[in-house]
Amino acid sequence: MNDVCDAYETFEHKGFTVEMHWDTDPINPRKDYDNFGTMYCVHGRYTLGDTDAYPPQDDDIVLPLYLYDHSGVAMNTTGFSCPWDSGQVGYIYVSRDQVRHEFNTKRITSKIIDRVKKLLVNEVETYDKYLRGECYGYIVRDEDGEEVDSCWGFDDEEYCREQAISAIDYELRMYAPCEQLTLEIRHESI
């Protein structure tokens, strides 16, 4: 459960207030997601990547992992410009057998390899957001300040905002007919 701190942003939508929050207890995407690739990392101060990973094999599809460590940490597959605070920390990889299975193919083409690399880069980008603390949640409150919806674990701030708006629109679609029926019943009983 998240400790709810003050919202860093609030906005109104159709009579509801949306509070945007930093997710103070985000889900670790390397532990709690079903990942395509395996992230093998070695670092003296941090436990990074997949804790049960082993080094990649010669026939695996592999991308390097670089870590930037200065007032926080960041990770990517291309490297950072600072030679003092960054360097290679490991690899993200997938076996060719797993690629054949996931893509339902016997032959791994260059087009498939490009797709695999994009998937691996996306996993690293998601993990990077987690490492940087770029995780979000929202709380929706009604006109009385009562919480009517909340959701956490977003790694994209704009998507989090869109989901909060969708939750309000859903609430209005679901409960508007009930409120109309209540008004009709009250009107008929008068």
What the block records as the tokens of 96 is: 């060719």
Per the domain annotation, does 2 fall within a domain? no
Predicted TM-score of the model (pTM):
0.79
Quote the pLDDT of residue 174: 80
The whole-number pLDDT of residue 82 equals 84
**Is the CB of residue 100 less than 8 Å from the CB of residue 109?**
no
Q: Are residues 33 and 119 in the same domain?
A: yes
Residue 181 in any domain: the answer is yes
Do 88 and 149 have their domain in common? no
Same domain, 150 and 180: yes
Consecutive 10-residue averages of pLDDT for the chain (190 residues):
73 95 92 93 92 93 96 93 90 97 96 98 96 94 93 94 94 69 51
pLDDT for residue 181: 47
User: What pLDDT score was predicted for residue 177?
Assistant: 59
Q: What pLDDT does 134 receive?
A: 92
Interatomic CA distance for residues 141 and 177, integer angstroms: 20
153: left (phi over 0), alpha (psi -120 to 50) or beta: left
Give CA separation, 170 vs 19, 65, 149, in Å: 17, 41, 11
Query: Are 21 and 33 in a shared domain?
Result: no
Shared-domain flag, residues 42 and 123: yes
Please report the pLDDT score of residue 83 as a whole number.
Answer: 82
Query: What does the DSSP 8-state code read for residue 55?
Result: P
Same domain, residue pair 111 and 78: yes
The total number of structural domains that make up the chain: 2
Q: How far apart are CA 68 and CA 72, in angstroms?
A: 8
Residue 170's domain spans which residues? 9-25+139-189
CB atoms within 10 A of CB 107: 7
